[in-house]
Structure 1
Amino acid sequence: MDASSLRTGGIRDLSVGYPRTVTAVRRMRGHGLVGRRRRECRIAFDELPPAQSAPSTPSVVLGLLGPLEVIGAASIRVPPGRQQAVLAALALAVGRVVSSDHLVDVVWAQEPPDTARTQVQICVSRLRRLLEPTGATIETQPPGYRLSLAPEALDVHRFHALVRSADRLVLEGQDLEAVTALRSAAALWRGPALSGVDSEALRAQATRLDEDRLVAQESGFEIELRLGRHARLIGEITALVEAHPLRERLRAQLMLALYRSGRQAEALEVYRAFRALLADDLGLEPGPELRELERAILTADASLRAPDPAEAGVLSTGAVSTGALSMPPTDTPTPPVGGPTAFQLPTAPADFVGRTQTLDLVRSVLLDDPTTVGIAVLLGPPGVGKSATAVQAGHLLGAEHFPDGQLYCDLRAIEDDPLSPADVLGRFLRALGVPPPAIPPDAGERGAMFRGMVADRRVLIVLDDAGSEAQVTPLLPGSPQCGVIVTSRSRLTAVPGATCLEIDVLTVPTALRLLSQTLGRERVDAEPEAALALVHATGRLPLALRIVAARLTARSHWPLAGLVNRLADERRRLDELSHGDLTLRAGMSLAHDGFDPLAARTFALLALLTGPTIPAWAAGALVDDDRPFPSDLTEPLVDVHLLDAVGVDVAGETVHRFQELVRVFALEKLAESADAPMQRAAVERFTGGWLTLLTEANARLLGGDFLQIDGGSPRWTPPQGYRERLLADPYRWFETERSALRDVVELAAAHGLVTQCWELVVRASIMLERRGYLTDLAALHACALTAVDAAGDRLGAAALVEVANSGLRDRYDTATRRALLEQALADLLELGNRTGEGLVRRQLAHLLFTTAGDDPAGHAAAVDHGEQALAAFVDRGDLGGQWRTLMLLGREAAGHGATEQGRARLAEALELAHRTGDRRAIAQVLRASAGADTADGRTDLAEEKLTAALELVRELGDPLGEAMVMRDLARVQLGRSRGAEARAALLASRDLFAELRQEAALGEVERMIAALG
């Protein structure tokens, strides 16, 4: 290795880099230009304006650097599989035409089906709708399609632009700005390129992008080594070496960084490990550059010395971002300002992983404002890693930004003998050199002495496990040169000037990394599925993962899968998650023991709920408390992080969720405090609350309590004011809660509440059907039907038959439907349920009209059922049932030649629909009336009604209604010889039916499209 290369930054490029750049920088240094330029800069690295690394650009719309991501007003999910592959192919060629043949190859590597091009067309059509909020469009342009989008809105384009900018900045001698650009480029990555996109044709492009990322990272390290930032690069380069063990350039950079940090032996060990790896796996030796670097380290070659800070252009007051925390520009702490210096931080955790964003926020809180004391309060549940994060931040920041001392104290808030502020101040004063006899006995005087001693010092204070603001406030310094990090499971929101930062559980990849570091990569790699199961079983809590690793390390003969089996039983999980002094239950118990009886009861009963989130009103239902602001019941749980607040509902009240292991602990408390009848009563109230909300939501949409069989199960009513806010927009409320419905139905079934079980499905069916969530409806129906059949509940069985014949009719053949309806009608007549009779008779009428054809007897039977259904609805005052039945009878009369009678009945149906205020009802009757007009040759009037109906269903967000109206509109347009408009309507209708899995309707529309030629 030549000495000049070593002086400029250490090592020559070993793969792809900036050979011309290095030459140019050397030339500028020879003329004294580089140092002068930097001395004029006087700007902290992470404060450089964006314009110095890249021009202002629009927000990223398409993300390919990681999982494929589309961003509009909110994140937009692209369904995995074909749609992701097609969009990725179009995005990689943005602005250029991608042929249909290439897209077929992208989706099907081998043996594409005969319908491949048609399926690509469907994918493109769906993508167009998905991309509408982003402004991106997909244009049809022979021989394929072109994605129209500003290249700057692609993260791939932005990445390459930043890398090119960095190359140019290095040529201009602006290394600081170049590193900013390269760090910004690295920040765009969210994982391996196109991860999750299943396409062999795109794999090579994804691999090339991943290689570009590595080259950019290596180039950035080269520049930062040149700037003298060797110590703070070691961890980052080590992680990349572990991920890419055969890259010699990274090995060389790590060796140089270690050597310059005074770790010669470790630098040589990196070389020897690499040499052994090459010899064992490939039978090769390291390259000449790496061998030369080893020789230089062994001989302490002067050319390896770190660059002079002034020569490197790093100012003693500047801060340099390393991706997690901003660091000062030198590796040598400033001497303390007089007196003893205390360095009390515990050892940094060797297995610390992740938390990059949190560490960056801590840095910002402590350093960004030089006029105030920065105070970062780390909050989170037991075992989430608050203390480890605080200590890690302390080590990363302490010696550099707070060289005059780092004070640490465990305040022991959750133990029986928490430290008082006076005790802590005494410890701190002794650490700062005050003789014990000189420490005043009064807490206030101790605080004044402490603040005076640190007034002209840069000291970091870490207060671990604080219990209250009163315990923390007396310990705060007055000097803005100092910083404070506090950890607590309580919400210390009243600490003056503090910024609270929530610590969440680890992400799955980070949790797996922690498990690999603590247990050993070989064992994790040997059982990847079991390792992933362990991550989920531990709720991704760092403490739980460390306990798992400790147990498995102590029992090297145990397979990972064996411990997974032990953790499968929720009743024993917390027993298994203990090892020596490491335990989760103790921390949670200490927090739980501070609850009053109501909070303890609320905590236990909430464990009954298994949905993705816990609605705000649920706690009130479970404990039978109807206070106007339900969140008052859960705030004590949230305050100590035994319940997470994950958002607010549409009424502005807090929505919650349990951490997985906290819920296991809550289940233990439930078993201790509530027997089976008490638990069943709580679930009955909770499901009763759901039924109340669903009933009121339907009434707001339908104009009354129409079209549903009532089982008479008990109700629980959330507070009126809250209920009014929650249901102001019924569809909006329903969309936020829909994902929880199946859990609620299963909960009712599990506790033997059969009537509530099927009533939940009946009450939810109208909105599920109107919003096109027929898959959800089918799942709920199947769950309830199992419970109903087991209980022999005839009313419930009949109600579910009616639901199935409304929203799920395409899932049954005609004979089955008729048999089910006739049996349901017999049961309802025997039970005397008049509403149910009307609903089922109307379904039978519809079925018989459909199958009667020219059979007068079949048509007469259908009319008879329809008339009896109408009479039942009139008896019950059910306007919804009346307009639906009148619409059916009117449409059939008009279709069989009784035009005037049909028109009269349809007009009556429309008048009743208007009376209910149900806009979807109005749209349905308009559609039926348009059908009668079409049959009568009045296509102009039919088109006018269908257009009005289309506007209504689109306003309502009703995809099934939109698909039906578009299909009918296409028929009318064909009758008026407007083929192009009809084709467009049919294509839109086809896509909607396909998304809703309406196979029969989809087949009909596809045949209509094929007939157009």
Structure 2
Amino acid sequence: MAVSSGFDGNGAAAAPIRVLGPLEVCGERGPVSVAPGRQEIVLGALVLELNRVVETTRLVDALWAHDPPKTARAQVQICISRLRKALSDGGVDAIIETRARGYILRAAEDATDIGTFRRLVAEAHALARDGRKMPAVERLRSATGLWRGRCLAGLPSEALAGTAAQWDERRLEAVETCMRLLLELGRHEHLVGELMQLVGCHPLRERLRGHLMVALYRSGRQAEALDAYHRGRAMLAEELGLEPGRELRDLAQAILTDDPGLALEPAAPRAVAPALCSEAAQERGADRDPVVTPRQLPADIGDFVADGTLVSAVGDAVTEGQDKGQLNVVLVLGGPGVGKSTLARHVAHRLATEHFPDGQLYCDLREAGGQLVGPAQVLGRFLRALGVPGQAIPEALDERAEMYRSLLAGRRILVLLDDAVSESQVMPLLPGTGSSGVLVTSRGQLTALPGTRRFDVEPLGQVQAVQLLGRIIGEQRVESEREAAGDLIRLVGGLPLALRIIGARLVARPHWSLTSMWHRLENEQRRLDELAHGELSIRASLSLSYDGLAAADRRLLCLLSLAEGTEIPSWLGAALLDDTTPHPTDLLEPLIDMRLLDITATDRDGEFRCGMWHIVRMFARERLSEESTEAERAGAVRRMVGGWMALVERAHKEIYGGTYTLVAGRGERWYPPEDHVRSCLRDPLGWLESEQGNLLNAVELAARSGLDELCWELATALVTLFEARGYPELWERTHRVALAAVQRTGNERGQAAVLGSLGTLHLYRGEHEAAGPYLSAALEIFERVGEVRGQALCLRDLARIERHHGDDDRALALYESAERHFVRAQDVIGRAYVLGEMAHITMRRADFTRTRSALDEALGICRSAGFGRGQALALRRLGQMLMYQERYEEAERTLLEVLAMVGASGDLVGEGYVLHDLGRVNAHLRRTDQAVRYYSRSARIRERILDHSGAAAVRADIVAILGRPMTPVC
């Protein structure tokens, strides 16, 4: 290991621990000696994850790429002990702490050159946003000057190479940003030589080549600028068989035509000059995969009425300064029923097409039951809407927020956040750049939210209120009783919600006069006097609509308040009433007519979904005891949860070809009409995702209602969704609720099912040590109660832990036991999965006869059941086995079949892996051009889902096949 003088190249004090080059450590007492080899690798791994836990298994992988010794963990402990002593003896202000799963290096960020680099780059970006470009350049120069070669140069660890390559990539990104800023400052003539050197070192980086072309053009060297483009184009064609990206092509055309947009000027940059575009916009790259454009705004209100001045003012506040990169956060404030959400949605629709063409994101920050929606959950929804697969969404709130800001950077997207309660809900949801806009509604002031424009929504004035009432019941009817209309408006204080309810009753009763309606309201004058104090007046107004319902409809409205989801499917009313009508939507029609329910969506078969205002739900809940007995309410909840359970179970059957891999319980089902079931389960996984909110609420309602059997069954069945679409946080949330429910009642079978599923969750997260106790406890209970399928599932997952620990013999024995149990349980899909895992072990042992037999059987099972995901998994294993056997043409045919399958199902992560496999196959076949094409497609997908380490691994394979580095550090 090289020793450090303690100073960087500029004579400034250097960080004690340096990895941006060869690993160096320098403490208060001078250079610190770290033994080369294992100790250097362990320290390097800890530094790359500074202040984060590095699992022992990760350190083992870093030290031994293949076949670690049985003493691997002990040797890691020895390395840690010696490193602690070296750091302490050298006076380095850093300590290594032991954690349950591994170790963590605790130190200040500036104790490492990586931390210093990160701080300097962040400061540079902040300065650039404030228009202070030269100080930003100085920070970036200092940051890139920290490099002394490749990150962790000389460390013989394949496992660390991908992460180290990410830091080398960040250095180049900082260099590119620095060049861009200097071009914007008019330093083009001084940059030509430096940019030529950089392009020579990194000939395939189009952004650097674009900067060089702009610098040459502005220096009066138009021909050389075009020559730089053509040389780059020829190199891309020769090396990769690709054309330059669209931005570089547009830039060349602009230079050729002497486009005035290339001139140095303070105005906003033009799209034809990518070297002048914002860094974030270039990062997205127009030549990459198509960007997902979310359109999440709820429908606008057709009879919307409001103060036109206020509508214009809110719209102007959202878009003011947008072209200058100014982020506007606009708050629309007001009490319940005043129409703030309706106003915000109307403004959003007015602005969407012209000002925010890249999309609109929407979330109601308060769930139907009043529970707040956390920012991490909202970010998960938004990231999925922006095209990020569930498996690629990080767990931590700050990491989700960083990914979200990166995806919004440079895009013109409107974010509408409805019914915010606190600043902490909103802050992580704000974009990082000014091209987007944010519109927030709230009942509170949110005074700690910085940089916001606030607009208070008041009750409608007389003119607007008359207009609204006329649009609901007809202008002629209002005009004929103008004085009574004015009295009604004054009676309800001009509240839009109250006026809509009154209008609905008058529409339903055309023989009623406005005067008679006023007399009805006058009888409740004592409560209406409290109108300005919030919900009491709204409750009084709602009671008018409630009184107009038939007894059966009143009972249904109150029972619907038990359903806490944001939307009500059409079958739910029938379940609550235990009605077997073939057209359950008919039961909801009277409530829709009275505007107590709103139609929120209609499918292609005409089935609709309804929404219930939060305040209507509260009102109905208060009257629930008047309309039903406790036994009736308990039966309604049981049927509602049983209906969700029946549909989830059916969706699982459609996906897996049967109730395979599920531990069955004895909870009571309620079956919706078969036509409805077939309609909503045309895409069973899509249906599960669309009903996610309702299903989560059903699990929690079952727990609160003492339905522990249905609770655990529903929670464990939902793993079908959580695992396939990447919802580990919801997996844990539902299972913690279910576990508490079954523990309260002593439900052993349910406890085992939930504990076993929690063990699987930990394996899904890569937390192998944490999974063991859950699986062992579940297995013990399953054995005691004689649940064979449950035992099989636990044995399968315990085998996965043994494989992770490197004990293939023990893993194989457990897999064989699991297979026998799956056979006894007649669970063919569970057995097929185990066959595939055993095949992976025998494949590595070169026992190809046994491997092929197992994979053929697994594939046959999955095909017979119609389980597409299982077929793809088995076929990919088969393709890998053929590669092991050097039967590359057969491997290619098999993997191409898998590629078609994952592409058809929209499995982006799987597509990235299979493309990487195909690249390796073609590399073995010496088809260099085709291999590079597959690698390039794989890398683009990995970058799209922000899998930087995966993209780095693919780029490493490209480097290997081309025989020279693609991005060397100058």
Q: Which has the larger radius of gyration?
A: 1
TM-score (structure 2 length as normaliser): 0.48
Bigger relative contact order, structure 1 or 2 (CA pairs below 8 A, ≥6 apart): 2
